[in-house]
Structure 1
Amino acid sequence: MELSYWELKNWFTAVDYTIVGSGIVGLHAGLRLRERFPAAKILILEKGMLPQGASTKNAGFACFGSLSEIMEDLKTHSEEEVIQLIEKRWKGLQLLRKRVGDQEMDFRPHGGYELFLKDDDFGFNECVSKLPFINEILKPLFKADVFSKEVDRFRFENIQEYLIFNPFEAQIDTGNMMQELLKQAIAANILILNQQTVTSYSDAGNHVEIVLDDFSFKSKKILFATNGFAGSLTNGAVKPARAQVLITEPIQNLDIKGTFHLDRGYYYFRNIGDRILLGGGRNLDFETETTTEFGQTKIVQNKLEDLLKNVILPNQEFQIAHRWSGIMGVGNSKKPVVTQLSENVFCGVRLGGMGVAIGSLIGTELADIL
């Protein structure tokens, strides 16, 4: 890369903080660093044309876990850990709303619903029986019951008669949210360079040497906010998880409003105006979906279309308008990894598929551990 004197001087000289990743975590880290260090030189490097992982590719759910998902977490985490996770997600959502603004990200508090398939009697009955207990442990945080049983009024088919309703869930416009965060970062004099891949780095004690494809520079500190792409940073504590998504063409007289979960959060759908966005299905083939490669597979796409046809939009004509995928960061624990890796190297990763909820908080925590 042949750089001019001006380029070297303005972008790559006397850099205080370099953030890798311009998603929700990276931008919140940058904005928080600017609050803490008004005169610092802050540079964000993004390997994609747009934020590459899931920040601009998610479904736009302002949620903190469906009832079946919370119960599943209780099987692998202590009660205290699960409550702390939900508290972090809830606080993260409030932080995001405060930072971005409800109007800017088209925040719509329609509530959330969980569906159970007709043949999932066990899952449905288990959730209904544990509902009072989950409400009880969450009451100190929400000051009200979170989950309740409601008759299906959306005319879904092949599901149990009742849905589980959560009034605290909402929809957001993911694109608007990220545009607003990028605007704020630029307004705060944070430099953002796209299509720049960090190929290696070394902590020299008083600075970090950062190597891009064909260029290197020095930065006092480096902060990784690369979530699903952080496997090598964390010795495998973070694994990538691909999420496949589709959206329909507009559907006449669509009477579905809200965010909806199915099968322990592995499937999720919502309306966007008069379209349906539907995603999930990585549990059909965990091995293939543990990847940093974007793309779709027949097994997942066929299942998504089957759910549209037989559960969500029965007896209705629909056309698929678009399909895409995003890369999340998961692991054996749902607890995010916010840590110092060496003297001048830090990371905030493993958002567990809850980036919208927890990303703002993790970015802030990442900036605050310096």
Structure 2
Amino acid sequence: MQLSYWELKNWFSNVDFTIIGSGIVGLHTALALRERFPSAKILILEKGILPQGASTKNAGFACFGSLSEIIDDLKTHTEEEVIQLVQKRYAGLQLLRRNLGDAVLDLKPYGGYELFLKEDESFYNECVQKMPFINDILKPLFKTDVFSKEVDRFNFNNTFEYLIFNPFEAQIDTGNMMQALLKKAHDNNILILNSQSVTSFQELSDNVEVVTNGISFKTKKLLYTTNGFAAQLTNNQVKPARAQVLITKPIPNLDIKGTFHLDKGFYYFRNINDRILFGGGRNLDFEGETTTSHDTTELIQNKLEELLKTVILPNIKFEVEHRWSGTMGVGMHKKPIVEQLSSHVYCGVRMGGMGVAIGGLVGQELADLV
């Protein structure tokens, strides 16, 4: 691409910070850098017309882990690590609320619920049995019990009479959140260019040469916030994880309100504008869902519809209006990777499906590394 003098001067000359990815982490990184370096030139490159990971595609859960997820995490992480994960997620949600405000986020503090299928009786009993212990280890953070049993008032089918309730969960509007973050970036003189895929970079003595599908330029620092697309950058410590979602047409007199978790968080649903938004099912085909493709599959979409018919909306007619998918970044460990990779290159990746909760905090931590 032959750039004009004006394009070179205003966008690609004397660039201080270039951030790859305009999602939750990338935008928070840019805003945190702007606070520290008021006169710096900050450029964000985004390969899609909108963020291509999960930032504009997630379900809008302001959550930090269901009871069964936390119990499951304790099988692969130490107690201290799990507490730190929850603490980080909760702190990240507070940061997001402070940065944007509850009105902009359209935050609805309905609380969160976890339901268990009758066929999972042993795991349900394990969760109920371990609930006092989980409440005890989280009490220093929340000053009260987080989880409690509550009778199912939503008329779910093929589930246990009691749900596990968490009053600290809420819903947000993902679209509002991202629009507000993008506007805040523009208002802070942060340059954002879309449809720019970084194909390579070369570190030089005092800067980095960045090559995209259309341009080549130099930047003093390069920061990757590409989450699920960061496998090569991190020696496969991050793997992509596709999350498939569907949403129904409006359902008259829908009485479901809240954020809901099922099967260790592998399924999740919520109400939005008299509809049910329902996602998950990655556990049906872990290998197939380790992909950056944004397609949907019959296997998972059929399972989502089946659970809607047999568990969530029994005896209620519904139609699916729309389907989509997003790309999360996961790994063997749930702790995000926030690292300086070389003299001028950094990364903040591996949100572990909790980008809404920890994306802002990771962005802040990444900016603090510079």
Q: TM-score, normalised by structure 1?
A: 1.00
Q: 1:311-322 residue pairs with structure 2 within 5 A?
A: 311-322=311-322
Report the alpha carbon displacement of residue 215 of structure 1 after superposing the two structures with TM. Answer: 2.1
Q: Is 1:140 aligned with 2:140?
A: yes
User: Which residue identity lines up with residue 82 of structure 2 in the other structure?
Assistant: V
- Give 1:350's aligned residue: 350
- Give 1:73's aligned residue: 73
Q: Is 1:174 aligned with 2:191?
A: no
- Give 1:198's aligned residue: 198
2:288 partner SS: helix
What CA deviation, in whole Å up to 9, does each residue of 1:108-162 have, x standing for no partner?
Answer: 0000000000111011000000000000000000011000001100000000111
Aligned residues: 370
Q: Is 1:298 aligned with 2:298?
A: yes
C-alpha RMSD of matched pairs (Å): 0.5
CA distance in 1, matches of 2:213, 2:60: 33
Contact 1:53 1:226 in 2 (8 A): yes
CA distance in 2, matches of 1:106, 1:237: 34
Contact 1:16 1:40 in 2 (8 A): yes
User: Which residue identity lines up with residue 260 of structure 1 in the other structure?
Assistant: F
CA distance in 1, matches of 2:284, 2:330: 16
User: Which residue identity lines up with residue 210 of structure 2 in the other structure?
Assistant: I
CA distance in 2, matches of 1:273, 1:108: 12
Q: 1:17-36 residue pairs with structure 2 within 5 A?
A: 17-36=17-36
Identify unmatched segments of 5+ residues in structure 1: none
- Give 1:270's aligned residue: 270
CA distance in 2, matches of 1:267, 1:100: 28
Q: 1:54-73 residue pairs with structure 2 within 5 A?
A: 54-73=54-73
Structure 1's consecutive aligned runs of 4 or more residues displaced over 3 angstroms after TM superposition are none
What CA deviation, in whole Å up to 9, does each residue of 1:36-88 have, x standing for no partner?
Answer: 00000000000000011000000000000000000110000000000000000
User: Which residue identity lines up with residue 154 of structure 1 in the other structure?
Assistant: F
User: Which residue identity lines up with residue 142 of structure 2 in the other structure?
Assistant: F
CA distance in 1, matches of 2:178, 2:205: 34
Contact 2:196 2:214 in 1 (8 A): no
Q: Is 1:111 aligned with 2:116?
A: no
CA distance in 2, matches of 1:215, 1:160: 57
What CA deviation, in whole Å up to 9, does each residue of 1:266-322 have, x standing for no partner?
Answer: 000000021000000000000000001111111101100001000000000000010
User: Which residue identity lines up with residue 100 of structure 1 in the other structure?
Assistant: L
Q: Is 1:233 aligned with 2:233?
A: yes
Q: Is 1:98 aligned with 2:98?
A: yes
2:328 partner SS: strand
- Give 1:121's aligned residue: 121
Contact 1:268 1:280 in 2 (8 A): yes
User: Which residue identity lines up with residue 48 of structure 2 in the other structure?
Assistant: G
Q: Is 1:261 aligned with 2:258?
A: no
Q: TM-score, normalised by structure 2?
A: 1.00
- Give 2:89's aligned residue: 89
User: Which residue identity lines up with residue 135 of structure 2 in the other structure?
Assistant: N
CA distance in 2, matches of 1:195, 1:123: 46
Report the alpha carbon displacement of residue 203 of structure 1 after superposing the two structures with TM. Answer: 1.1
Report the alpha carbon displacement of residue 202 of structure 1 after superposing the two structures with TM. Answer: 1.2
Q: Is 1:43 aligned with 2:43?
A: yes
Identify unmatched segments of 5+ residues in structure 2: none
Report the alpha carbon displacement of residue 214 of structure 1 after superposing the two structures with TM. Answer: 3.7
CA distance in 2, matches of 1:213, 1:316: 49
Contact 2:243 2:280 in 1 (8 A): yes
User: Which residue identity lines up with residue 284 of structure 1 in the other structure?
Assistant: L
CA distance in 2, matches of 1:203, 1:142: 45
1:158 partner SS: coil
CA distance in 2, matches of 1:219, 1:329: 26
2:341 partner SS: strand
CA distance in 2, matches of 1:8, 1:258: 49
Report the alpha carbon displacement of residue 205 of structure 1 after superposing the two structures with TM. Answer: 2.3
Report the alpha carbon displacement of residue 208 of structure 1 after superposing the two structures with TM. Answer: 0.3
User: Which residue identity lines up with residue 318 of structure 1 in the other structure?
Assistant: F
CA distance in 2, matches of 1:299, 1:292: 17
Contact 2:267 2:278 in 1 (8 A): yes
Report the alpha carbon displacement of residue 105 of structure 1 after superposing the two structures with TM. Answer: 1.0
Report the alpha carbon displacement of residue 2 of structure 1 after superposing the two structures with TM. Answer: 1.5
What CA deviation, in whole Å up to 9, does each residue of 1:143-186 have, x standing for no partner?
Answer: 11000001100000000111000000000000000000000000
User: Which residue identity lines up with residue 151 of structure 2 in the other structure?
Assistant: V
2:287 partner SS: helix
- Give 1:152's aligned residue: 152
